[in-house]
Amino acid sequence: MSIVAKDNKDMQEKIENYKIQLGKYHGMLIQDLTGKVAQEKTAAFAEALVSEHKNKLIKLKDDTGGLSKNADAAVDVLFSLRVNAL
């Protein structure tokens, strides 16, 4: 085997190793970015859900003259919030 052929083979092996490493880094970056986007979406959904239930409770309080007068509806809203939190 000539020196040039051996150098070419070594260079090809190095290139293949770099391709493998770059593929792994790319996968890690994609996974990290996907995780961050998912966390942001989850946080936005949770915030919207809590806000929706808060508004329902405020409406019940205002419409009925107090939550104690319509306790069953208030309990339903709180149960719904609890179930959605799980």
Q: Which pLDDT tens digit goes with each residue over 34-78?
A: 877 777 877 888 888 888 888 888 888 888 677 677 778 888 888
| Structural contact between residues 57 and 77, judged by C-beta atoms closer than 8 angstroms | yes
Report how far residue 43's alpha carbon sits from residue 26's, in angstroms, rounded to the nearest whole number. 26
Domain ranges of the chain: 3-85
CA angle 19, 22, 28 (to 5 degrees): 145
Within 13 Å of residue 76, how many CA atoms lie on the same side as its CB?
6
List of long-range contacts for 69-76, beta carbons under 8 Å, 24+ apart: none
* C-alpha closest to that of 49 among 74, 81, 75, 76: 81
**Amino acid 85: pLDDT:** 67
pLDDT interval class at 86 (50, 70, 90): low
